[in-house]
Amino acid sequence: QSALTQPRSVSGSPGQSVTISCTGTSTDIGGYNYVSWYQHHPGKAPKLIIYDVTKRPSGVPDRFSGSKSENTASLSISGLRDEDDADYYCCSYAGVYVPFVIFGGGTKLTVL
Amino acid sequence: EVQLLESGGGLVQAGGSLRLSCATSGFTFSDYWMSWVRQTPGKGLEWVANIKQDGSERNYVDSVRGRSTISRDNAKNSLFLHINSLRVEDTAMYYCATESPLSPRALDFWGQGTMVTVSS
């Protein structure tokens, strides 16, 4: 299975909103409502920010939201803050056989 | 506070082996499936292996199956990954992570990673 497709980079100014897309296929994103998103500041532990397409773990601000349409998932971040400057990875459940999950190539969000 | 701390990475020649460790605290380790995920330089993330709470089920990505062993010690709250016959393409940052009980295979807590560099 191929990696999910994300834009390599996006940018926005503080206070603005950005959306990161993640495109897969009918056997991953399109087949299940189990898309997750991870925020990664280099040198630190990746952090789960969205699971099951739209759900936020405890402590994740509601500025982060997720959605899905057919084979494409999206992460939206509103009210950009400097600390949002990071890499973002999407991930989809891909079934009961290994590798179970497929990640995207990652998107670098730059807060200008 | 949940903490995961990987160790055991380093520089190794192709054909060699390494044992990665992940020490955990702040949660009931024996309640969780655990995974290893790697990030190759300049590329994205790749799930590598996982292990059930009691160690009775282990799964591997095709590229490491047959030359890797994932294991755990619930008494010591620790996870391990032994990789033999290392290849240049195994060069990556290796992360351990907990699998969320809320969503299939979502990874809710991660460590900071340990770097493995395989030289030719």
Q: Is B59 on the interface with A (CB under 8 A)?
A: yes
Residue of A nearest to B44 (CA): A105
pLDDT at res. A100: 86
Residue listed under structure tokens 């087949």: A31
For the stretch A88-108, pLDDT in tens is 999 999 888 878 889 999 999
For the stretch B31-82, pLDDT in tens is 999 999 999 877 789 999 999 999 999 999 999 999 999 999 999 999 999 9
For the stretch A42-65, pLDDT in tens is 899 999 999 999 999 999 999 999
pLDDT at res. A46: 94
Residue of A nearest to B42 (CA): A105
Taking Cα atoms as reference points, which of B77, B76, B69, B113 lies closest to residue A45?
B113
For the stretch A14-36, pLDDT in tens is 999 999 999 999 999 999 999 99
Nearest to B47 among A43, A101, A105 (CB): A101
Per the DSSP assignment, residues forming a β-bridge with B13 are: B119
pLDDT at res. A101: 87
Helix, strand, coil fractions of chain B, as percent rounded to 5: 5, 50, 40
- The residue count of chain B comes to 120
pLDDT at res. A1: 67
As a whole number, the mean pLDDT across chain B is 95
- The residue count of chain A comes to 112
Distance separating alpha carbons of residues A43 and A24, to the nearest angstrom? 28
At residue A81, the 3 state secondary structure works out as: coil
Examine the pLDDT at A111 and tell me if it is beyond 80: yes
How does strand A9-12 pair with strand A107-111? parallel
What burial class does residue B94 get, using C-beta atoms within 10 Å of its C-beta: 0-12 exposed, 13-18 middle, 19+ buried?
buried
φ, ψ for residue A30, nearest 5 deg:
-70, -20
The whole-number average pLDDT for the span B102-113 is: 91
